[in-house]
Structure 1
Amino acid sequence: MRQAFNDRHHIADLLTQHGYQLGFATDTLTRLARPGRDASSSSVTIFPARADGAPELSVHFSSSDELYSEEYLDPRTRQVRRKAHDAFYIYVMLAHGGDWRAAYAAACAELEQTAASGLLFHQVANAPGPV
């Protein structure tokens, strides 16, 4: 379900629905400003989904951002890294206040509705015409 959600939702869309402002976007990078900050002072970076199946991810550099990406020490490389967020994590935090159960139920319902309407469209489009 999470992968299906990530495939159907762009992080920039989720963030702008919650007050983030687009700074700039290219094919390989998107920058946004957190709510309350000028769009020219971006503190969020979105990296596109990769061909290997890794989803689109965002990193939030401002500690004033409720999605702040905490730093951690990578035990393998011993380098400092930041936690990255996928679309579903952002949806859970911003649309459902961190309630994973509610977000999961809502996302499943949305996917079921999308699948049902797609099936209905497929059935109508492929229905036999007048004989």
Structure 2
Amino acid sequence: MLKELSLFERLEADSSRAYSTGIDHQSLIGSVKSNLQQMLNVREGSVSPLPDYGMPDFNDLVYEFPDAIYQLQVAIRQFLLRYEPRIDEVLVSYIPDSTQPLQLKYQVEVSLKSASEASGTFQFETVITGSGQAFVRAA
């Protein structure tokens, strides 16, 4: 059952747990979502060995509106595909919200590599606040 966990989750797991080749898809999806939220909250350039790891600083993009909306959309897709090895396809769509002008909302659809078509795709929304913090929630 540990196969669906991220590396850090496996390192923290109780070493007495038995390994299995089966995959619990709900645990896998939960683990991927948790990792994606952590990833989306890392600023580009903050991990010195991987200078391209992270999201562009939202404050740097403020002056490039409305192009910043598309730039973040592309950045989210490329970043997730490059650094989350358990996914193989990402579709990111901007969701306009005139009631929250200092936030950008995106719907993200993710396909998992190791799953069948029906159980291997999930969606979530990510909201990027004016301070650059990202929140992941069910779509």
Asked if TM exceeds 0.5, the reply is no
- Output the TM-score relative to the length of structure 2: 0.26
Larger C-alpha radius of gyration, 1 or 2? 1
Please identify which structure carries the higher strand content.
2
- Output the TM-score relative to the length of structure 1: 0.26
